[in-house]
Structure 1
Amino acid sequence: MDNSLYFEDLKTGEAFESTGRTITETDMTMFSMLSGDWNPVHCDQEFASKTRYGERLVHGAFGIAIATGMMHTLGVFEKSAVAMMSISEWKFVKPITIGMTLRLKLSILDFEEGTSKRVGRVNRRLQLVNQHDEVVQDGISDMLILKRSGISES
């Protein structure tokens, strides 16, 4: 079933929420391997136990990656997304830890039709929240999205 929304379908203030995903030891290890970031706060329990958090923390950049993946699982931009244009004002509000369950809250801030007959720009707020509904990461991302009138031109 295609749940894709196009430029003309979106409304300012419209909100979407993903299902949850629990962060695992494997997630953190794989991200360390992929990124090459083996900072002791991520991979050394003895070191991390002496920090103010008392445990290892998952990479902040992992949160951004999870948020973009969760955005895909919403399905609302499945066939209409053209390109993510930016991530801005990203804030790391709380640390991510192993065992935390995260969800994405996405809301439409505004949009701009522009001059293209094929695509428009949509500005979105992305909030990664934990199992207590506390914001963990928060930022703005705009993207190019297909217009219904431009689908045949793709």
Structure 2
Amino acid sequence: MNQENMLAPRDLHTARYYWEDLEPGFSFETASRTVTEADVVSFAALSADYNRVHVDAEYAASTPWGARIAHGMLVASIVSGLNTRTVVNQLLEPSLIGMLETRIRFPKPTLIGDTIKARIEISDRRETSNPARGIVDFRRVAVNQRGETVCECDVRMMVLRRAQNDS
């Protein structure tokens, strides 16, 4: 990063990303997080999803995974939470209008004790009929500590565009 692109600490509170700043192909990584027993138990209670593969160790031992696995939606929620803690998301948050669509896939299960992190890429960006906003597609891919992909999530967001006089 050169001096021209550096942000002074006094300017951090006004720093902000808009639709125009989100170029397809740009990617970033999240921190990691370990999925715990408490996470799975709490999510089961919150969601009322007491599927035996999540909560019954004896039953789960007889499944192809050999152990209890985390709820897919818990894993997707953790990935979403990891994203919100990134600098990119912090700069983008004031410009986010809303989530329009989400598609999620779970190629491998996440076991209790697995540590996951995500790589997030801007996969597409397009204008809308309203010049004040645009659409951005994000691809989130989470991997565990073994490098196995455990969650693929495509998220479509509506994002504010930079005002014409702010160019």
> Residue 158 of structure 2 aligns with which residue?
144
1:113 & 1:6 partners in 2: Cα distance? 12
Deviations 1:106-143 (A, max 9, x none): 10111111122321100111111112332111131110
Superposed displacement of residue 94, structure 1: 0.5
User: 1:56 is matched with which residue?
Assistant: 68
Letter in 2 for 1:119: R
Structure 1 position 78 matched with structure 2 position 90 = no
Structure 1 unmatched ranges of 5 or more: none
| TM-score, length of structure 2 as denominator length | 0.83
CA RMSD of aligned residues (A): 1.9
The percent of aligned pairs where both chains have the same amino acid is 35
TM-score, normalised by the number of residues in structure 1: 0.90
Shift of residue 5, structure 1, vs aligned partner: 2.0
The answer to whether the 8 A contact 2:76-2:153 is kept is no
Q: Which amino acid aligns with 1:98?
A: I
CA shift, 1:4, in A, is 3.9
**Is the 8 Å Cα contact of residues 4 and 75 (structure 1) preserved in structure 2?**
no
Q: Answer 1 or 2: which has greater helix percent.
A: 2
Q: Answer yes or no: is 1:123 the counterpart of 2:137.
A: yes
Matched, 1:109 2:145: no
Structure 1 segment 18-33 matched on structure 2, within 5 A: 18-33=30-45
Larger Rg: 2
For the 8 Å contact 1:15–1:105, the answer to whether it is kept is yes
Alignment partner of 1:40 is 2:52: yes
Deviations 1:45-72 (A, max 9, x none): 1111111111001101111211221221
Q: Which runs of 5+ in 2 are unaligned?
A: 1-11
CA–CA distance in structure 2, aligned partners of residues 5 and 101 of structure 1: 29
